[in-house]
Chains A and B, each alone.
Chain A
Amino acid sequence: MIANYGYKDGSGEYYISIDTDKCIGCTAERACLTACPKQMFEIITDDYDDEVAWIKKPNCRTLAYDCADCKPSGGYSSLPCIAACTPGAIKHSW
């Protein structure tokens, strides 16, 4: 399942997509949890009883601000969450 967390508003479209099929057998030892400086990731049991990562609720409404420090303008050439998630489950829409 592709789970998109975030929002679209007048300023743009800010979604982090997580391919939960990759989380089920995570081969990165849940590295997203520690890689994100804002600790936005959390492991939950979803509606189909799979243990997968999601973005914590409050962050889903503030992604543009939360992730700003990690984006190229903040000096990063790759995002910590994407680099840590070697199964390639995480994508950003912006």
Chain B
Amino acid sequence: MSSQAVLVIDGELYGFNSMRTGNNSPDSATNALQGVMDKCGMKLEDIHYVVGTGYGRVNVPFAHKAITEIACHARGANYMGGNGVRTILDMGGQDCKAIHCDEKGKVTNFLMNDKCAAGTGRGMEVISDLMQIPIAELGPRSFDVDVEPDAVSSVCVVFAKSEALGLLKAGYTKNKVIAAYCQAMAERVVSLLERINVEEGFFITGGIAKNPGVVKRIEKLLGIKAMETKIDSQIAGALGAALFGYTLMSKKAAAA
């Protein structure tokens, strides 16, 4: 599991820290926050407002408010991709979220699937372990095949794992199995996206945004190219939380 902390000053991204933390304890949040402040040469006391988000949002010490990851991802994607962002796909470690938002980054339609690991980072880790191939190599290797295979028929990671083993025994190369698995993941998330009306202005957040094996297959299925950003896609939720914090703090100051 990873934790992210983002520092926003005057409504603009100033610095961020993304680190593997193991669990959702209050220490994870504090360490991530301390990390970004150290990087920016500032102290915790310099912070005016903290918003917690994600699975650990109620575990963020000294947070003034907790906001769901749905609203925060939309707000973060709106900052990263601009006000043309309409459809957001977040393939996080534990869940998969499909979000539709307006030009201000306000959510207009969303769904989340956290029951099944298909379409999540956890699903990718399972295949990485099984193939004994680092996660960062899965995407590029999935294109190194003679013929694009059909998707593995099961999207449930438990069954997909035994199906993958069966394919290896049947003579598939590792790359071909990875390609079949990436295709299955892409088909799964596209079926979720279809429930929320996919529109141009398509933005992907979360760790899997960095996996071209899944991203390019999703783009092909949707017929839409994902928007590009220079900012690390993994901080979208934390960035959105920080931007909400800035707005809330400004409102509070104006009312005082």
Q: Is B173 in the interface zone, CB < 8 Å from A?
A: no
Residue of A nearest to B115 (CB): A7
Nearest CB in chain B: distance from A54 CB, A? 11
Nearest CB in chain B: distance from A93 CB, A? 8
What is the interface of chain B mostly: helix, strand, loop, or mixed? mixed
Is the Cβ of A9 less than 8 Å from the Cβ of B156?
yes
Cα A48 to Cα B72 in complex, Å, equals: 11
Is the Cβ of B109 less than 8 Å from the Cβ of A8?
no
Is the Cβ of A8 less than 8 Å from the Cβ of B70?
no
Residue of A nearest to B159 (CB): A10
Out of B67, B107, B111, B116, which one reaches A9, CB within 8 Å?
A: B116
Q: Is A30 in the interface zone, CB < 8 Å from B?
A: no
Contacts of B156 in A (CB 8 A): 9-10
Taken residue by residue from 1 to 33, chain A's Cβ proximity to chain B (1 for < 8 Å, 0 otherwise) reads as 111111111100101000000000000000000
Is the Cβ of A4 less than 8 Å from the Cβ of B109?
yes
Taken residue by residue from 102 to 120, chain B's Cβ proximity to chain A (1 for < 8 Å, 0 otherwise) reads as 0000111111111110000
Is the Cβ of A47 less than 8 Å from the Cβ of B71?
yes
Q: Is A92 in the interface zone, CB < 8 Å from B?
A: no
Q: Is B191 in the interface zone, CB < 8 Å from A?
A: yes
What is the interface of chain A mostly: helix, strand, loop, or mixed? strand
Cα A13 to Cα B108 in complex, Å, equals: 21
Out of B68, B113, B154, B191, which one reaches A10, CB within 8 Å?
A: B154
Is the Cβ of B116 less than 8 Å from the Cβ of A8?
yes
**Which of A2, A13, A48 is packed against the most chain B CB atoms within 10 Å?**
A2
Cα A10 to Cα B68 in complex, Å, equals: 27
Out of A13, A15, A47, A61, which one reaches B70, CB within 8 Å?
A: A47
Is the Cβ of B108 less than 8 Å from the Cβ of A47?
no
A48-B71, A61-B115 given as contacts; is B155 within 8 A of A10 (CB)? yes
Taken residue by residue from 200 to 239, chain B's Cβ proximity to chain A (1 for < 8 Å, 0 otherwise) reads as 0000000000000000000000000000000000000000
* Chain A residues numbered 51-83 whose CB sits less than 8 Å from any CB in chain B: 61
Cα A13 to Cα B155 in complex, Å, equals: 13
Cα A7 to Cα B191 in complex, Å, equals: 12
Out of A5, A15, A48, which one reaches B106, CB within 8 Å?
A: A48
Residue of B nearest to A7 (CB): B115
Nearest CB in chain B: distance from A70 CB, A? 20
New contact pairs (16) apart from A10-B155, A61-B114, CB-CB < 8 Å? A1-B106, A1-B108, A2-B109, A2-B110, A4-B112, A4-B196, A5-B111, A7-B116, A8-B188, A8-B191, A8-B192, A9-B116, A15-B111, A47-B67, A47-B107, A48-B106
A-B pairs with lowest CB-CB distance, top 10: A4-B111, A47-B71, A7-B115, A2-B109, A9-B116, A61-B115, A10-B156, A47-B67, A7-B113, A47-B68
23 inter-chain pairs at a CB distance below 8 angstroms, sorted by A residue, are: A1-B107, A1-B110, A2-B108, A2-B196, A3-B109, A4-B196, A5-B111, A6-B111, A7-B113, A8-B113, A8-B188, A9-B116, A9-B156, A10-B116, A10-B154, A10-B155, A10-B156, A13-B191, A47-B67, A47-B71, A48-B106, A61-B115, A93-B195
